């Protein structure tokens, strides 16, 4: 049985299956009946994790800017703006194209 598992592990479909199982275990709601509140809950969890990471990465990027590597600073700044501005960006684009 272990040899069969060794053959299955490198397959791309098996890795996708494991990621789907991990995602389902990450969602602690019993069902997806209330999709809006569960997505808001997931968004708040991701934001809570990303906030300290973004601060640390911006500090490192500022240090790199001081050392002369401005490319990393610009990339970190744009990534931070996209991460924390994503809800507003999505609502703006959906309102621009006639969405609710």
The pLDDT tens digits for 4-60 are 666 666 666 767 777 777 776 666 555 555 666 677 778 788 888 888 888 888 888
Identify which of 75, 56, 77, 73 has the alpha carbon closest to the alpha carbon of residue 65: 73
Angle at 22 between CA 16 and CA 25, to 5 degrees: 145
**Structural domain tally of the chain?**
1
pLDDT (0 to 100) of residue 79: 82
In terms of residue numbers, what domain contains 32? 2-96
The SS3 of residue 31 is coil
d(CA 88, CA 100): 13
pLDDT (0 to 100) of residue 5: 61
Greater confidence, 66 or 13? 66
Mean pLDDT for the stretch of residues 68-89: 82
């Amino acid at each position: 049985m272990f040899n069969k598992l060794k053959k299955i592990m490198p397959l791309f479909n098996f890795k996708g299956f494991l990621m789907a199982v991990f995602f389902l275990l990450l969602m602690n709601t019993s069902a997806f009946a209330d999709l809006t509140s569960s997505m808001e809950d997931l968004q708040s969890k991701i934001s809570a994790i990303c906030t300290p990471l973004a601060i640390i990465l911006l500090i490192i990027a500022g240090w790199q800017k001081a050392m002369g590597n401005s490319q990393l600073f610009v990339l970190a700044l744009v990534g931070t703006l996209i991460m924390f501005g994503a809800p507003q960006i999505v609502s703006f684009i959906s309102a621009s194209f006639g969405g609710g």
